[in-house]
A and B are shown apart, each in its own frame.
Chain A
Amino acid sequence: MYKIIKKRLLAPSVQLMEVSAPEIAKRAKAGQFVVVRVNEKGERIPLTIADSDPGSGLITIIFQEIGKTTQLLGTVKEGEEILDIVGPLGMPTHIENIGTVVTVAGGVGVAEIIPVAKAFKKAGNRVIGIIGARSRELLILEEEMKKHCDNVFVATDDGSYGQKGFVSDVLSDLLSKQINIGLVYAIGPVPMMRVVSELTRQHGIKTVVSLNPIMVDGTGMCGACRVSVEGRTRFACVDGPEFNAHQVDWNELVSRLSLFKKEEKVSTERFREECRCKKG
């Protein structure tokens, strides 16, 4: 059992939880994730480790309440426990000093990119952050991001804050300035990562993305998370979750993410119904 020590709402339906998991906190590195099962009937879902502190034994997870499981997780209160958490899983981000690194994140991806930006900064890089959300109220962790980056650019889809448009538009402007960029790192919704990948391909800039396919065990056992990279099947849970963006088969990833759309809808509606009953 893993106790929730702190919980706060970062934006509408975006939750931050600090959870007691000393063994995971001791070893977690940037880019790694945990697999969480909320209760006895729950499914296993992967969540990126947004922060970890070996001293206090806490790990931070940040998630958007979209489907049944994230909504269910959102109902667990401070002081209560999550049934199962295993980790840290996946290969840590390969961190080196390559000069300038641009970290691009959209939506809840901002939470996931902070440990990466922090690690690149610590390794001596100049780190530029580009973060975005649909609107100002959905933008999270801007201040935190500023702590770990040399510059931070913000974009919102509706223009309510920062530049109007997508994070990829900001990246596009940056690329046109001909500055020397060693690496672009992107995490967020698949369409965003895909556009970023197309942009940097044109400029020949090495780009790493952190993928989020469907997972079950998260330890290399089931192959649910397989992705085609450079024509080879790889398991995101053990070979990734980070891959060379220019080698990812994006069409396949998009298609595989739609695998259980119908079932997800059934589950989510059922959960909403249950919540209504409880309240009523």
Chain B
Amino acid sequence: MQKRVKMAERPASERIKDFRQVNLGYTNEQAVEEAKRCLQCKKPFCVDGCPVEIDIPGFIKAIAAGNPLKAAAVLKQKNNLPAICGRVCPQEEQCEIKCILHSKGEPIGIGNLERFAADFEKEHYAKNNRHTALMPKNGIKVAVIGSGPAGLTCAGDLVKMGYLVTVYESLHKSGGVLRYGIPEFRLPDDILDYEIENLAKLGVNISLNTLVGRTKSVAELFDEGYKAVFIGTGAGLPNFLGVPGENLNHVYSANEFLVRVNLMRAFEFPLYDTPIYVGGHVVVIGGGNTAIDAARTALRLGAEEVNLVYRRSEQELPARREEVVHAQEEGVRLRLLTNPVKFSGDENGFVKEMECVKMELGDPDSSGRRRPKLIQNSNFTIRTDMAIIAIGLSPNPVLPSLTEKLERDDEGHLKIDDKYMTSIKGVFAGGDIVGGETVIQAMGMGKKAARSMNEYLKEINPKPS
């Protein structure tokens, strides 16, 4: 079997000095070569693995035929943000794992090809891109709250169906976690800007600096004439460990650290006004993509050493394998089966060390992963002047708590029915606010919610015959 074409990467020693992309993308020749490996299955299992139902063999066929623009058009039938998905989706767990060639160990590089087609379109025909089929405008207003992956996908699909869509974003820039969370070296701002501009060209209106719940209420949106609302406000609230010393100076949530760097561009301080501390001995607590992003960002800011502390073993690391490998190449040290129990600081309240305990794996827990157990008397300390806590997020409570009759479950997620409708008629929700986990899951939910909203709006507002 022909080998999968590897995407070129910049060497670790070079890339840790800046925030530019790590993966360089396929050349035309590489893309065609990789696309030609696709068997064009009659029953393509890969499509089943895609939360947004992309016609994967279809777009790959177009690349193989030397027509990447057509490939981009095929992608955009289902996916409003292909340049983003090609970069940040965990394809290895979704489409690629279902690829028939996976059993032989060399599945098609679906993500790489998606990125290639989307980038090709951006570079060559961005200005007259007319691939998206639009329904005529129907004059019906819908509101989308949150401009992250769920909201943007939902907005894109609704605008294509002919609705007048306004997206409300609380921050001063759109993109949600794609903007403030994912660093430039994985998802450059210009790619995100490009994808969002494309949505704007389709007619999506984005209203920044609007915290729905505070700036205006959901009820007021209906008063303003919106016929349906989608809530995609994400998982904003950072979780902390609940151990002593956690509020010492230079102990950050990953959200704060990444917001400062990605959204506020603190890595360019003092040219930009938002400061960030550059730690010498940085510890990052957690094992997800956010933890890995924070660790690699700290290295790029100039940290001498970065320890990533995770309470389970390498096998259970929830981050994408590719990102873990990249992080290790760059010098991030994994401290596995390790759990923090306490931070201590100096006399001015700045963190100076983290006390940890060693863990071992016991029986599987409800998630199927082996539960980490404390090893008695295994305490030890790690020297640190900056700790970043990346152990997950809870749903942002601002909008739910300020919206009457919007029901939540015990964890604070919005309750939705099988049509993505919340406990309020005409109000739909998707993404992390209902319990999604990844960018693409959020996009999948945004997409399905858009479909349900269309059905709902057709029902309440049948066309006069």
- Chain A: residues with CB nearer than 8 A to chain B? 23-24, 27, 37, 41-44, 68-69, 72, 83-89, 216-217, 219-224, 226-228, 233, 235, 238, 251-252, 255-256, 258-260, 263-264, 266-267, 270
Residues of B within 8 A of A226 (CB): 240, 247
- B275 contacts A267, C-beta separation under 8 Å: yes
Q: For B273, give its contact among A24, A69, A221, A222 (CB under 8 Å).
A: A69
**Is B170 in the interface zone, CB < 8 Å from A?**
yes
Tell me, rounded to whole Å, the shortest Cβ–Cβ distance linking B166 to chain A: 13
Residues of B within 8 A of A238 (CB): 397-398
- A219 contacts B398, C-beta separation under 8 Å: yes
- A221 contacts B275, C-beta separation under 8 Å: no
Please measure, in the bound complex, the distance between the C-alpha atom of A221 and the C-alpha atom of B235, giving whole angstroms.
8
Residues of B within 8 A of A227 (CB): 247
- A85 contacts B209, C-beta separation under 8 Å: yes
- B210 contacts A264, C-beta separation under 8 Å: no
A43-B264, A217-B170 given; name 8 further pairs at CB < 8 Å: A24-B215, A27-B215, A72-B273, A216-B274, A219-B170, A220-B236, A221-B180, A263-B277
Choose among A220, A221, A256, A263 the residue with the greatest number of B CB atoms under 10 Å from its CB: A221
- Encode contact with A along B241-273: 1 for CB under 8 Å, 0 otherwise: 000001111101101100110001100011111
Residues of A within 8 A of B255 (CB): 221-223
Chain B minimum-CB-distance residue to A259: B249
Choose among B171, B210, B214, B247 the residue with the greatest number of A CB atoms under 10 Å from its CB: B214
Please measure, in the bound complex, the distance between the C-alpha atom of A258 and the C-alpha atom of B347, giving whole angstroms.
13
Residues of A within 8 A of B211 (CB): 86-87, 89, 219
- B271 contacts A88, C-beta separation under 8 Å: no
Known: A37-B172, A216-B274. A223 touches B238 (CB 8 A): yes
- A216 contacts B264, C-beta separation under 8 Å: yes
- A256 contacts B349, C-beta separation under 8 Å: yes
Closest 7 CB pairs of A and B: A255-B349, A263-B275, A222-B256, A43-B273, A84-B172, A223-B253, A43-B274
Please measure, in the bound complex, the distance between the C-alpha atom of A214 and the C-alpha atom of B358, giving whole angstroms.
34
Residues of A within 8 A of B461 (CB): none
- B260 contacts A223, C-beta separation under 8 Å: no
Residues of A within 8 A of B214 (CB): 27, 87-89
Q: For B209, give its contact among A86, A220, A256 (CB under 8 Å).
A: A86
Please measure, in the bound complex, the distance between the C-alpha atom of A255 and the C-alpha atom of B260, giving whole angstroms.
20
Residues of B within 8 A of A68 (CB): 273
Please name 16 pairs of A and B residues whose Cβ atoms are closer than 8 Å in the assembled complex, sorted by A. A44-B274, A84-B208, A85-B209, A87-B211, A89-B211, A89-B214, A217-B170, A220-B397, A222-B260, A223-B255, A223-B256, A238-B398, A255-B249, A256-B249, A260-B275, A267-B275
Residues of A within 8 A of B246 (CB): 233
**Is B396 in the interface zone, CB < 8 Å from A?**
yes
Interface size class of B (residues with CB under 8 A): 35 or more
Chain B minimum-CB-distance residue to A38: B273
Known: A23-B210, A27-B215, A260-B275. A221 touches B259 (CB 8 A): yes
Please measure, in the bound complex, the distance between the C-alpha atom of A255 and the C-alpha atom of B171, giving whole angstroms.
28
Choose among B172, B209, B253, B270 the residue with the greatest number of A CB atoms under 10 Å from its CB: B209
Please measure, in the bound complex, the distance between the C-alpha atom of A256 and the C-alpha atom of B396, giving whole angstroms.
24
Please measure, in the bound complex, the distance between the C-alpha atom of A43 and the C-alpha atom of B259, giving whole angstroms.
11
Residues of A within 8 A of B252 (CB): 223-224
Please measure, in the bound complex, the distance between the C-alpha atom of A240 and the C-alpha atom of B348, giving whole angstroms.
25
Tell me, rounded to whole Å, the shortest Cβ–Cβ distance linking A94 to chain B: 15
- A252 contacts B216, C-beta separation under 8 Å: no
Residues of B within 8 A of A258 (CB): 249, 348-349
Please measure, in the bound complex, the distance between the C-alpha atom of A197 and the C-alpha atom of B308, giving whole angstroms.
41
Please measure, in the bound complex, the distance between the C-alpha atom of A87 and the C-alpha atom of B277, giving whole angstroms.
28
Known: A259-B249, A260-B275, A263-B275. A221 touches B236 (CB 8 A): yes
Residues of A within 8 A of B237 (CB): 220-221, 235
Residues of A within 8 A of B272 (CB): 41, 43
Please measure, in the bound complex, the distance between the C-alpha atom of A69 and the C-alpha atom of B264, giving whole angstroms.
14
Residues of A within 8 A of B398 (CB): 219-220, 238
Please measure, in the bound complex, the distance between the C-alpha atom of A233 and the C-alpha atom of B214, giving whole angstroms.
23
Residues of A within 8 A of B259 (CB): 216-217, 221-222
- B210 contacts A259, C-beta separation under 8 Å: no
Residues of A within 8 A of B250 (CB): 259
Residues of A within 8 A of B215 (CB): 23-24, 27, 86-88
Chain A minimum-CB-distance residue to B349: A255
Please measure, in the bound complex, the distance between the C-alpha atom of A173 and the C-alpha atom of B380, giving whole angstroms.
53
Chain A minimum-CB-distance residue to B265: A41
Choose among A87, A219, A233, A258 the residue with the greatest number of B CB atoms under 10 Å from its CB: A219
Residues of A within 8 A of B209 (CB): 84-86
Residues of A within 8 A of B238 (CB): 221-223
- A42 contacts B170, C-beta separation under 8 Å: no
Chain B minimum-CB-distance residue to A221: B236
Please measure, in the bound complex, the distance between the C-alpha atom of A41 and the C-alpha atom of B273, giving whole angstroms.
6
